[in-house]
Structure 1
Amino acid sequence: MSVWDRPEPPHRPVPLDRERIVAAAMALADDGGLDAVSLRKVAARLNAGPMRLYGYLSTKQELFDLMVDEVYAEILPPEQPGDWREALRAIARRTRHAALRHEWLADLLGGRPALGPNALAVGEATLAALTGRTDIDTALRAVETVNAYTTGAIRRETANLRAERATGLSKHDWQRTSGPHLTRMLATGRYPALTKAVYDGTDVDTEASFETGLDWILDAVAARLTRPPA
Structure 2
Amino acid sequence: MTTLRAPRNTLTRERVLAGALELADSQGLDALTIRALATQLGVRPMSIYHYVATKEALLDALVDVVFLELYVPTTTGEWREELTRRARSVHSSLGRHPWALTVMESRAQPGPANLAGHEAVLDLLGTAGFSVEAAGHAYAVLDAFIYGFALQDAMLRSVGLSTSAAEVRDGMDLSRHPRLAAMAAHYAEAQEYPLDTSFDIGLTIALEGIARLRDDGDGAAD
1:118 corresponds to which residue? 113
2:203 corresponds to which residue? 214
User: What is the one-letter code of the residue matched to 2:167?
Assistant: R
Q: What TM-score do you get using the length of structure 1 for normalisation?
A: 0.79
Following superposition, the deviation at residue 185 of structure 1 comes to 3.0
Return closer, same or farther for 1:113/1:85 CA change in 2, 3 Å cut-off: farther
Task: Return the match for 2:172 from 169, 178, 181.
Answer: 181
Following superposition, the deviation at residue 64 of structure 1 comes to 1.7
2:20 corresponds to which residue? 25
Return closer, same or farther for 1:48/1:180 CA change in 2, 3 Å cut-off: closer
Following superposition, the deviation at residue 33 of structure 1 comes to 1.9
Distance in 1, Cα, partners of 2:158 & 2:45: 30
Distance in 2, Cα, partners of 1:115 & 1:37: 19
Q: Does residue 1:170 correspond to 2:162, yes or no?
A: yes
Contact 1:69 1:118 in 2 (8 A): yes
Return structure 1 stretches of 4+ with deviation > 4 angstroms.
78-81, 193-204
Distance in 1, Cα, partners of 2:108 & 2:214: 24
Following superposition, the deviation at residue 17 of structure 1 comes to 3.1
- Per-residue CA shift, 1:66-120, capped at 9, x if unaligned? 1111010000338665111111111110011111122222232453577111111
1:144 corresponds to which residue? 140
Q: What TM-score do you get using the length of structure 2 for normalisation?
A: 0.81
Return closer, same or farther for 1:200/1:137 CA change in 2, 3 Å cut-off: same
Alignment of 1:180-199 (within 5 A): 180-186=171-177, 194=180, 197-198=183-184
1:37 corresponds to which residue? 32
User: What is the one-letter code of the residue matched to 1:179?
Assistant: D
1:91 corresponds to which residue? 86
Distance in 1, Cα, partners of 2:143 & 2:108: 11
Following superposition, the deviation at residue 195 of structure 1 comes to 5.3
- Per-residue CA shift, 1:179-220, capped at 9, x if unaligned? 353423326xxxxx5456555689761100001000000000
Return closer, same or farther for 1:195/1:117 CA change in 2, 3 Å cut-off: same
Distance in 2, Cα, partners of 1:28 & 1:229: 46
- Greater shift, 18-27 or 97-106, is seen at 97-106
* Gapped regions of structure 2 (runs ≥ 5): 1-6
- Per-residue CA shift, 1:142-190, capped at 9, x if unaligned? 01100010000001101111111xxxx52525x5245353423326xxx
Q: Does residue 1:66 correspond to 2:61, yes or no?
A: yes
Following superposition, the deviation at residue 138 of structure 1 comes to 0.5
Distance in 1, Cα, partners of 2:216 & 2:148: 27
SS at match of 2:110: coil
RMSD: 2.8
